[in-house]
Amino acid sequence: MSERLPFSSASRPSGAGTSSIEASSAGPLAALRRAWSAPRSPQAVVIVLSLWLLLTTNWALWLRLPHLDGYDGSLGVLLLRLLPLGFGGIVALLSFTAWSRGMKPLWIGLLLVAASAQYFMVAYGTVMDSGMVHNILQTDLRESSDLLNPKLLLQLLLVAGLPTAWLLRLRIQRARSLLHAAARMLALLAVAVALVAAAVFVSYRDLAPVVRNNLWMRHMLNPVSPVLSTLNAAFKPLLQPKRPFTSITAGAALGASYAAERKPPLFVIVVGETARAANWGLNGYERDTTPELARRQVLNWRNVTSCGTSTRESVPCMFSHLGRTGFYQAKADYDNLVDVLHAAGLAVLWIDNQAGCKGVCDRIPNASTADRLGTPDGKALCTPDGECLDGMLLSGIDERIAALPAERRERGVVLVMHEMGSHGPAYYKRSTPETKVFQPECLTNALSSCTREQVVNVYDNSIRYNDLFLSKTIDWLAGQQSHYQTGMIYMSDHGESLGEMGIYLHGMPYAMAPDEQKHIPMVAWLGNLAERTGVSERCVRGQLDVPLSHDNLYHTVLGLLDVRSPTYDKPLDALAACRS
């Protein structure tokens, strides 16, 4: 006869209490586990994710609220006004993803985008507008690698890790039909829009002046701003009609000076990168960051502004004949300065040590420092991944010139050198041991983790290296004067923020960008080229405080080289008043 087990259900006394296992199944932990894994509608998922994103990926906005311009009210009240606006905005964006199938990868992608955007907005003080997205899309792999660091990976893990784990385990409830799913999605969108409208109606009188005085707030809601900016950057060119191309090279010709029997010009245009006027020794900076240029007694203009705050904007603009206002209002694409010089018959060559010429050199001969990675100079001045110091721009320069068409070289040579300059955040890569005179340096690309002194030191060292490179370029040009009339002009594409007001790097929208990102250095060494058009250096030195901008480059170069063009505008020629 078989025996019964002591704790079998048959032997349990009537009315006995539940076992410890059954009790635990009703505890808080079990309830949390059930809530974690219970099936959810896509609308519920969107609401949960929106709340998570509002609270965890908008610290760039929350941390800047105490530093608002023109607001002296309660920060707590301001935050209460902003929270429903932010929540409604995020729900409105994510409501378009409130479908039951195929949305998990998209939701996880949004989490990663929001986490990445928050890192850069907090660490560097940037805003994620369409201009910044364009800059990211036009950045090459070498520059992108400078932005990667453990803090970014930690941000991704903290912000995206927990909700990703939840989403991967979650079962999404299916709608009864496609029509039913669409109706629920539209209902969620309507509720979100109503919430935003109600929040605006209640708070408009108080919020409107705050936003007007702090335009950066329009670009800070995460992930709304990164997503909309990315969509704008991706689809706006596709939706807009293709811009017509209008050539301006007709009428370009060499001036009377070329008919005389004299040496041809050899002129170098150096497109600087991320040099700001505030840290330029020749401008009166407390540190001597430009000792070599000072020894060569270059012309240094002290009041110069850039066309934009990023390479993508400034480089095409500074080579344009239109000026900043005309450039941004133009309805067509045009040739630029190097095209006109080439059309006039000069030998023109663009040499790049950056992520491309942004379309400026597409119609002329061009080369890259990457062409010479295998040379002794390449092994000495470049990293294995192909990132080179600007000294590589002079590597093999005589051979590059010799490869240009002989008939053009006999008329004259124009070289454009596009620097890596002081491009951040890895400033420590932009100088050599001999130019690392300011210590200690910030030796990471996570600039906010360094002291202010370390960031300024490492940036100033990059300016010292740029000073050394420009001086070597001048010395090389001086050595060519037996065959050429030589000269050089240097102009930075934009400036840089080094932590002022918590902002680093560049690329802020122009209207709200600080002066540090727009006030740039500009120098010229005229050598014996001034003789061609009778420029008086003594006269020029008396006008170095006259305000200039990128608008002046096109016309100044044409005037200095005596190249005739219907597009030349004498009042914009910085040397015209000193030309006999």
For residues 326 and 246, the answer to whether their CB atoms sit within 8 Å is no
* Residue 306 pLDDT: 98
Looking at residue 142, its amino acid is R
Q: Which residues contact 532 (CB under 8 A, 6 or more apart)?
A: 257, 262, 265, 485, 560, 561, 562
Geometric angle at alpha carbon 254, from 249 and 259, rounded to 5°: 160
Neighbours of 80 (CB within 10 A): 11
How far is it, in rounded angstroms, from Cα 129 to Cα 139? 16
Amino acid 6: pLDDT? 40
Return phi, psi of residue 349, to 5°.
-140, 130
3-state secondary structure of 188: helix
Q: What is the pLDDT of residue 238?
A: 77
pLDDT of residue 7: 37
The amino acid sitting at 500 is E
Instruction: Give the C-alpha separation, 561 to 258, whole Å.
Output: 10
Rounded to whole angstroms, the Cα distance separating 267 from 447 reads 37
- Model-level pTM greater than 0.85? no
Q: Which element (helix H / strand E) includes 491?
A: strand 485-492
Amino acid in position 327: F
In this structure, the strands spanning 299-305 and 265-272 are: unpaired
DSSP label of 565: -
Pairing of strands 413-418, 485-492: unpaired
Average pLDDT of adjacent 10-residue blocks, the chain of 580 residues: 40 47 60 73 96 95 87 89 95 94 93 92 82 71 70 90 92 90 95 95 86 83 92 80 92 93 94 98 97 98 97 96 96 97 98 94 96 94 91 98 97 98 94 97 90 97 98 98 97 96 89 94 97 95 98 98 97 95
**At which residue do the structure tokens 């002591």 appear?**
6
